[in-house]
Structure 1
Amino acid sequence: MSLQMVRFRTAPEQIPEVTQQIEALFTAVHDAAPPGIRYLALREADEPAFTLILELPDRADNPLLSIPAALEYRSHLSGWTDDDVTPRPHTVLGRYSA
């Protein structure tokens, strides 16, 4: 599996807009139902900081790039933050699930 993560901070007054856009993004992902991925969006409690984590099978293309709502979401990112929102690859060092 490969793992990509995007982390960013935004202005507190943008939390509702960002949250609404993430909800729309996940509705579109659920509707498209790309196989074999895990996708998670988080917001730090009481902070305007967001993290999105995408886990893909090895050598798989990113299916989000073919979902219009995901592309629309990405187009808004630069207006919400000054952070670098380039997805960063990560190596999983450990995992546990029961």
Structure 2
Amino acid sequence: MSLQIVRFRTAPEQIPEVTQQIEAIFTAVHETAPPAMRYLALREADEPVFTLILELPDGADNPLLSIPAALEYRSHLPSWTDDDVTPRPHTIVGRYSA
């Protein structure tokens, strides 16, 4: 499996806009239903810190790159944060699922 994570901090007043854009991505993902993709978006409880986690089968193309809502979201990222928002690949070293 391929795992990519993006984590960034934004200004507190931007939380509603960022959240709305993330919700739009998930609406579009549910409509297109890319196979074998796992996608998770988190916000730290009391912080303006977001984490997006994308898991795909090895060798699979990233379906988010063909979803307009995801591309729009990516175009806004530079105005929301000064953090490096390049997706970083990760290696899963353990997992449990019931």
Q: Give TM-score scaled by structure 1 length.
A: 0.99
Between the aligned residues of both structures, percent identity stands at: 88
3-state SS in 2 of match to 1:47: coil
Residue 84 of structure 1 deviates from its aligned partner by 0.3
Amino acid in structure 1 at the alignment position of 2:35:
P
2:88 aligned with 1:88: yes
Task: State the match for 2:75 in structure 1.
Answer: 75
3-state SS in 2 of match to 1:14: helix
**Structure 2 alignment gaps of length 5 or more:** none
2:28 aligned with 1:28: yes
2: CA distance between counterparts of 1:20 and 1:45? 17
2: CA distance between counterparts of 1:14 and 1:39? 22
Task: State the match for 2:17 in structure 1.
Answer: 17
Residue 5 of structure 1 deviates from its aligned partner by 0.3
2: CA distance between counterparts of 1:30 and 1:76? 21
3-state SS in 2 of match to 1:84: coil
3-state SS in 1 of match to 2:22: helix
1: CA distance between counterparts of 2:38 and 2:65? 15
Structure 1 segments, 4+ long, off by >4 Å, are: none
Count of residues paired in the alignment: 98
